[in-house]
Amino acid sequence: MSELEDIRQRRVREIRELSMRKMREQQDQVLSEQMQQAQELEAQVKQIIRQILSPEAQSRLTNIRLARPEFARQIEILLIQLYQSGRLKAMSDAQFKALLAKISSTRRDTKIDVRGREME
């Protein structure tokens, strides 16, 4: 009986290993597809931004992205939304700077000090 039990246990391990391998392959495939979709989306964003911003404004946005990536992404989303709604055609660097100044003046930064009180 011991030999039969050993065979069963080996078979169960083989089935588990096969199942785990298939799950890993599926996860890898899903991850690969998600990465490809993210790259395609990023390429579309860059293409639209190139249509909207002058080369100087694009350079300014690149500098912003280096210092504050999340803020740069928010600006890109705003620009694309304005562009797609027809409220924006193209922007020079001066117009882009004015938009950034407007955004910066409307932002409210709240800082929390170590005692837990809000400070502006």
The enclosing domain of 90 has a CATH number of 1.10.8.140
Per-residue model confidence (pLDDT) at position 60? 96
Residue 53 falls within a domain, yes or no? yes
Residue 116 falls within a domain, yes or no? no
Residue 117 falls within a domain, yes or no? no
Per-residue model confidence (pLDDT) at position 104? 83
Of residues 102, 86, 92, the one with CA closest to residue 61: 92
Residue 96 falls within a domain, yes or no? yes
Per-residue model confidence (pLDDT) at position 42? 93
Residue 66 falls within a domain, yes or no? yes
Containing 60, the helix (H) or strand (E) segment is: helix 55-67
- Torsion angles phi and psi, residue 91, rounded to 5: -130, 135
Q: Could you tell me the residue range of the domain that residue 51 belongs to?
A: 2-103
Of residues 96, 76, 97, 79, the one with CA closest to residue 88: 79
Residue 94 falls within a domain, yes or no? yes
Per-residue model confidence (pLDDT) at position 30? 95
Per-residue model confidence (pLDDT) at position 76? 95
Residue 7 falls within a domain, yes or no? yes
Domains in the chain, number: 1
Output the tens digit of pLDDT for each of the chain's 120 residues.
Answer: 689 899 999 999 999 999 999 999 999 999 999 999 999 999 999 999 999 999 999 999 999 999 999 999 999 999 999 999 999 889 999 999 999 999 888 765 555 555 555 555
Residue 25 falls within a domain, yes or no? yes
Containing 34, the helix (H) or strand (E) segment is: helix 2-52
Per-residue model confidence (pLDDT) at position 114? 57
